[in-house]
Amino acid sequence: MSHPDHLRYPEPRYQGETGEVSASFRSADTPPDLTSPRGDTYRYLATHGSTGGEYGLYQVDLAARAAGAKTHFHKAMSESFYVLSGELALFNGEKWVTGRTGDFLYVPPGGLHAFKNVTDEPTSMLMLFAPGAPREQFFEQVAEMSQRGGEELKQFRVRHDSYFEEDFPA
């Protein structure tokens, strides 16, 4: 029985005949990799470097009333959000929806999206980027670059595949 091409597995990338020891483990009690001045925390679960660019997976804990990210899109990667706890306001390109524990939003390349915490309680989510990109530098520098503003901020965003309406008005 043959299957349509879109249902086939990708070509093998590992050529060995037996498996190898190559898994990595991160304990739940590992401290956050980044804490913002507002108290938002970022845990780098799987980075561009650790996955060979396959994907990036980050746990982001937003403080109450955290601004999140304004409406933007990516040209080179998809972005997905999975709500672990609390409520998260998610813009799906058309309207704002309330994401609650267990809710998931997938945004393909080019898809407009945004997120923020509009509640008085913290919220936690997983963010998945595919393929992986070195998002750590973006997370670590975005607050400083936002304060600088102007052309420097625009170029920073473009370098990190983040296109915002205010940078490219219609």
Q: Render pLDDT for 93-119 as a digit per residue (tens, 0 to 9).
A: 999 999 999 999 999 999 999 999 999
Position 2 in a domain: no
Length of the chain (residues)? 170
Position 163 in a domain: no
The CATH number for 96's domain is 2.60.120.10
Q: Which residue has tokens 């963010």? A: 127
User: Cα separation of 125 and 17, whole Å?
Assistant: 38
Phi-psi map region of 151: left, alpha, beta (phi>0 left; psi -120 to 50 alpha): alpha
Position 104 in a domain: yes
Position 100 in a domain: yes
Position 28 in a domain: no
Closest CA to 56 of 76, 27, 71: 76
Mean pLDDT along residues 33-41: 93
Q: Is the pTM of this model over 0.85?
A: yes
Confidence of residue 79 (pLDDT cuts 50, 70, 90): very high
The number of folded domains in the chain is 1
Task: With H, G, I as helix, E, B as strand and everything else as coil, classify residue 123.
Answer: strand
| Host domain of residue 61 | 33-133
